[in-house]
Each structure stands twice: as structure tokens, then as C-alpha cells.
């Protein structure tokens, strides 16, 4: 038998967030260490894994639709294991097999990386493994989609228990990977050609390993590795400290972009969501970020139509968007999720039609804001990491600016994987358009802070007036940002 025929092929289908993408890359590394080979052809695979998301109902229905479609591959009797992993697997467990009987394995969030071992001992009976406490990722490899960018998971799980969110129930409580291991991994990735590293976690800026907090981890990666560009997602407002704001201003490797979920502009709704901040606290964090790094891009998440949301509450969200002037936003209407605190405690009393109408209004507002914000990019020259071709035209390249925006421009394929200068000439709400810039006129990268002559760093002034409104739920980091400590 030829070596080609002996190969065991796998195929991974991924739904959901960047964390799921990173998990799929790590799972691919585990499989390849166990002798499997990746294939893009489902018909060639003897192992198909569907990595699932449970944040919204639509994500689960898409996964179920895909799983139903895979039944056709088993009709000819060929050997094929269909495996469901991730958040939906953790949430639904055996109910997935009840609905899709041709699924062979269901592995929860802490068990998916045991897949090679479980396959080695599996019989013909479908199995479900969803127990927490089995995950050990410190030595797990990862297969990257590109040689020049990578994700590095630094924390998993969440301790916040926002009432709308299923994540703490399907990912468990927060677990932090050791600092030394993460710095070593980052150094190895840089040696392997990685230019841009994105640090990942459900609540990434709550990271702590002994005396090392999140800004401390970023500083060590910046100082001790050859990684050129550092990003992170997603932070929580309650843990966004003055030190992190100052790091954005003073460390050129930290990209000038923060994705900072607001969720709502109404303090009443934020309280019902169990978000431990008020809008004015969020507003002050945004203000300080922009004072420290004037060119910083700020994006956000928002949910409209949360239970009991009135027109006045929604107007507060519109007002918050108008005031905050986000560069971009992920906006959703509330979708009740079984297993969340809101599902158990709060009646979903907002009609679907009203949710959609409010969402459309918010999207229309943000589209205008994004368009206007992007007009300020015209004429600027951005250090852009070229990451591939435009989806619509392979004669056009695309890349990511320091602010995390997509730029399209004509260029040679040889530029992919390089950081080049792109001069922006046009912009719409979602995309920048420009051309490769070859000038040598004293350009310095926009969005990278450079101290004035005689200074060495930015210090953020936290001496703002204390609020008269008290709230025991307001975190220490937000009080610090307001000068309330």
C-alpha cells in the first residue's frame, strides 16, 4: 500500500469567534502530531470536525444545518467519524446526537484536544465527553492559517456571568496560562516568521499569573520577543486599567486599536445585563484612550432589544454611539439563550419586529459614523500588514492597518506577509482604498506614539472629579480610571 493511501485525512469546519479559530488551529496541531493530514476535500476525509458556537441561536442553527448536510457522506458506507466540538457541544451534549444521529463524537470545550486519544480507544457507539477540568494546553501545538500572523490564547473561560451570555457556562471559569510559557511561545512564533500576534481570551485583560497582570504580560512579550505587532481581544471595560492605556501610548509594538464592548448606553439595562460599570465610566475610559493615543481606533459590541428595554433606553444607546464615535461595531438584537441567567430570570418581552427595527436604526447610525471616521484616513500613509487577496478581485491585495482596518490596494503577490506603506485615497464605511507608497519624505507610522523631545512616556491623568453616584458593582480598574481611588 502506498504512503498516500495510508494517510489519515481530517477536515475542520469552524463557526464563531476568533477563540474558536484559535481552538481549531490548536486541534489541527494535535491531530497532525498524531499522524493525521489536513484536507480541504470533505469527501477525502475520514474525520470531519465541526467546531461550534453557542453565543447566538443563529450560530447553532447554522452548525446543525451543516451537520445534517454531512449525512450524505456516510451513505456509501465509507469509514467516517463526524465529531462536534466547542461551545454548542458543551451546552447541548447528548442532545446533539438525539437530533443528528449520524454524529459519532461530542466533545466539550475542555475535552476537544483529547480527540486523538479518544479516537484511539473509541468503539462504534456514539460518545459524549463534556466534563470540565481536563484541559492542558501548555504544550499543545497550533497550525496557523498564515505564516506571518498568529493567535495566542492566554486565558480561557470567564468569571463575569453577564446575564445574556452563555460563555461562562460552556467555557467554565477563567484559567490563565503561565507567563513564562506564553513568552516562550511568542518568541518561538516570532522565530518562525510571525509578525503580528493577537492575544486571546474571553476576558483577555483579566489575565493574571502571580504578580504578572495583562499589561505586564504584553510588556514582556514586547521587550523579550521579536514580535513586531501586538493585538488583543476582547477586553472588558471593568479590567481596562490606566497601565494598559499608557502601554498603548508608549509601546510602539502595541497596535492602536481597542475593541471595547459597550453592550448598552442605558445604565438601567447595563445593570440588568450584570455589566459592572455605568455608561459615564465607559465614556471616561474612551476619553482617556484617545487622550493618550489620539489616532487610536475603538470598536465595540452592542445588544439592542434586551428584555425591558424602553425607547428611552434605546435612545441612550444611540446617544452613546453618537458621542463615542466608534470606528466600527458589531451590533445584534437580543437572542434568548437557554442556560443563561437572563433566560432564567428575565422575561424576553420585546417583540422581534421591534428588536429588528431598533437594530436597523443603530446600524444606519454606525454606518454613517464609520464613513465619516474613515474620511479622516484620506491622505494618510499606514503601515499595513498584507494578508492576502481581496475576495472579489485577485489583482487587488488586502491588508490590516495599525488601527485594525482593512485596506485594499493593487500590488504584487510577493508583498503578502510583509508590512508595507499604503497611502489611503478613498474610504467607505467598512474599507480603506489606496496604493503602495514608495516615498521617502520623513514618514513615521500614524497611530504610533512618539514622545515629544525631552519626554520619555505618557502618563494618563486620573485626577478627574469623583462621581456623586455610588455603585458597589463598579470595578476597581474603572474607579482607577476615574480617579476614584
| Domain at 425, CATH number | 2.40.50.140
Burial of 454 (0-12, 13-18, 19+ CB in 10 A): exposed
| Residue 82 placed within a domain | yes
Q: In the chain, what are the helix, strand and coil shares in percent, each to the nearest 5? A: 35, 20, 40
Using DSSP's 3-state secondary structure scheme, residue 104 falls into coil
pLDDT of residue 6: 67
Whether residues 103 and 69 share a domain: the answer is yes
Whether residues 362 and 387 share a domain: the answer is no
Q: Which of 98, 129, 160 is the last residue in one of the domains? A: 129
Please tell me the pTM assigned to this model: 0.83
Whether residues 398 and 298 share a domain: the answer is no
What's the CATH code of the domain at 48?
Answer: 3.40.50.12160
Q: Which of 436, 457, 474 is the last residue in one of the domains? A: 436
Give the Cα separation of 30 and 49 in Å (integer): 13
| Residue 452 placed within a domain | no
Whose CA is closest to 16, among 171, 139, 131, 123?
171
- Sort strands 328-333 and 381-389 into parallel, antiparallel or unpaired: unpaired
CB of 406 closer than 8 Å to CB of 366: no
| Residue 243 placed within a domain | yes
What's the CATH code of the domain at 246?
Answer: 3.80.30.20
How many domains does the chain divide into?
3
| Residue 461 placed within a domain | no
| Residue 458 placed within a domain | no
Whether residues 175 and 312 share a domain: the answer is yes
pLDDT of residue 347: 94
Per-residue cell: 97: 446526537
Per-residue cell: 228: 513586531
Whether residues 66 and 206 share a domain: the answer is no
Per-residue cell: 71: 449525512
Name the H helices within 225-351: 242-250, 267-272, 279-292, 311-324, 341-345
Q: Which of 394, 421, 436 is the last residue in one of the domains? A: 436
Whether residues 103 and 177 share a domain: the answer is no
pLDDT of residue 137: 53
Whether residues 65 and 110 share a domain: the answer is yes
Give the Cα separation of 252 and 363 in Å (integer): 33
Whether residues 85 and 30 share a domain: the answer is yes
Torsion sign (Cα): 182, 188, 189, 195: positive
Residue linked to cell 488551529:
25
| Residue 301 placed within a domain | yes
Whether residues 317 and 362 share a domain: the answer is yes
Exposure string (b/e) for 148-183, b if CB count within 10 Å is 16 or more? bbbbbbbbbbbebebbbbbbbbbbbebebbebeebb
| Residue 477 placed within a domain | no
Which residues, at least 6 apart from 341, have a Cβ–Cβ distance to it below 8 Å? Answer: 161, 162, 163, 274
Whether residues 254 and 336 share a domain: the answer is yes
- Sort strands 396-400 and 381-389 into parallel, antiparallel or unpaired: antiparallel
Could you list the residue range(s) of the whole structural domain that residue 312 is in? Answer: 149-366
| pLDDT tens per residue across all 485 residues of the chain | 444 556 899 999 999 888 888 889 889 988 998 899 999 999 999 999 999 988 877 888 999 999 999 999 988 777 899 999 999 999 999 999 999 999 999 998 888 888 998 888 877 666 888 887 655 555 556 667 789 999 999 998 899 999 999 888 888 899 999 999 999 999 999 999 999 999 999 899 999 999 999 999 999 999 999 999 999 999 999 999 999 999 999 999 999 999 999 999 999 999 999 999 999 999 999 999 999 999 999 999 999 999 999 999 999 999 999 999 999 999 999 988 888 999 999 999 999 999 999 999 999 999 999 999 999 999 999 999 999 999 889 889 999 999 999 999 999 999 999 999 999 999 999 999 999 998 754 334 443 333 333 334 555 544 433 332 333 344 444 444 444 43
Whether residues 267 and 350 share a domain: the answer is yes
Whether residues 282 and 389 share a domain: the answer is no
Give the Cα separation of 278 and 264 in Å (integer): 10
Amino acid at each position: 500500500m502506498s504512503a498516500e493511501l495510508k494517510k489519515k485525512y481530517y477536515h475542520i469546519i469552524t463557526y464563531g469567534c476568533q477563540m474558536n479559530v484559535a481552538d481549531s488551529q490548536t486541534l489541527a496541531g494535535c491531530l497532525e502530531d498524531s499522524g493525521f493530514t489536513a484536507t480541504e476535500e470533505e469527501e477525502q476525509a475520514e474525520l470531519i470536525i465541526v467546531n461550534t458556537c453557542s453565543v447566538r441561536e443563529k450560530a447553532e442553527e447554522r452548525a446543525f444545518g451543516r451537520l445534517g448536510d454531512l449525512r450524505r457522506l456516510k451513505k456509501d458506507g465509507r469509514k467516517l467519524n463526524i465529531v462536534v466540538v466547542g461551545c454548542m457541544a458543551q451546552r447541548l451534549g447528548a442532545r446533539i446526537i438525539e437530533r443528528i444521529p449520524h454524529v459519532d463524537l461530542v466533545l466539550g470545550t475542555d475535552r476537544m484536544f483529547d480527540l486523538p486519544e479518544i479516537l484511539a480507544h473509541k468503539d462504534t457507539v456514539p460518545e459524549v465527553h463534556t466534563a470540565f477540568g481536563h484541559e492542558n494546553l501548555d504544550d499543545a501545538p497550533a497550525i496557523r492559517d498564515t505564516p506571518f500572523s498568529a493567535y495566542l490564547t492566554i486565558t480561557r473561560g470567564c468569571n463575569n456571568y453577564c446575564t445574556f451570555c452563555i460563555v461562562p457556562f460552556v467555557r467554565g471559569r477563567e484559567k490563565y496560562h503561565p507567563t513564562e510559557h506564553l513568552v516562550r511561545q511568542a518568541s518561538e512564533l516570532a522565530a518562525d516568521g510571525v509578525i503580528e500576534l493577537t492575544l486571546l481570551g474571553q476576558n483577555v485583560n483579566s489575565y493574571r499569573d502571580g504578580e504578572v497582570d495583562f499589561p505586564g504580560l504584553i510588556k514582556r512579550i514586547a521587550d523579550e520577543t521579536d514580535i513586531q505587532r501586538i493585538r488583543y481581544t476582547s477586553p472588558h471595560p471593568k479590567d481596562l486599567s490606566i497601565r494598559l492605556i499608557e502601554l498603548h501610548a508608549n509601546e510602539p509594538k502595541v497596535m492602536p486599536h481597542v475593541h471595547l464592548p459597550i453592550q448598552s448606553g442605558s445604565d438601567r439595562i447595563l445593570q440588568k445585563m450584570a455589566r459592572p460599570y455605568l455608561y459615564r465610566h465607559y465614556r471616561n475610559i474612551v476619553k482617556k484612550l484617545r487622550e493618550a493615543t489620539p489616532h487610536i481606533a475603538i470598536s465595540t459590541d452592542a445588544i439592542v432589544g434586551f428584555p425591558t428595554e424602553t425607547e428611552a433606553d434605546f435612545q441612550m444607546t444611540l446617544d452613546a454611539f453618537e458621542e463615542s464615535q466608534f470606528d466600527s461595531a458589531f451590533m445584534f438584537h437580543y437572542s434568548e439563550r437557554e442556560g443563561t441567567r437572563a433566560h432564567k430570570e428575565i422575561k424576553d418581552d420585546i417583540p422581534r419586529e421591534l428588536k429588528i427595527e431598533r437594530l436597523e436604526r443603530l446600524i444606519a447610525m454606525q454606518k454613517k459614523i464609520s464613513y465619516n471616521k474613515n474620511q479622516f484616513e484620506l491622505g494618510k500613509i499606514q503601515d499595513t500588514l498584507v494578508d492576502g487577496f481581496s475576495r472579489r478581485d485577485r489583482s487587488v491585495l488586502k491588508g490590516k492597518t495599525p488601527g485594525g482596518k482593512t485596506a485594499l490596494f493593487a500590488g504584487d503577490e510577493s508583498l503578502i506577509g510583509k508590512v508595507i506603506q499604503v497611502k489611503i485615497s478613498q474610504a467607505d464605511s467598512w474599507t480603506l482604498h489606496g496604493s503602495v507608497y514608495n516615498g521617502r519624505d520623513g514618514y513615521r507610522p500614524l497611530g504610533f506614539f512618539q514622545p515629544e523631545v525631552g519626554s520619555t512616556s505618557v502618563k494618563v491623568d486620573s485626577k478627574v472629579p469623583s462621581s456623586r453616584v455610588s455603585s458597589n458593582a463598579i470595578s476597581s480598574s474603572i474607579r482607577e480610571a476615574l480617579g476614584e481611588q
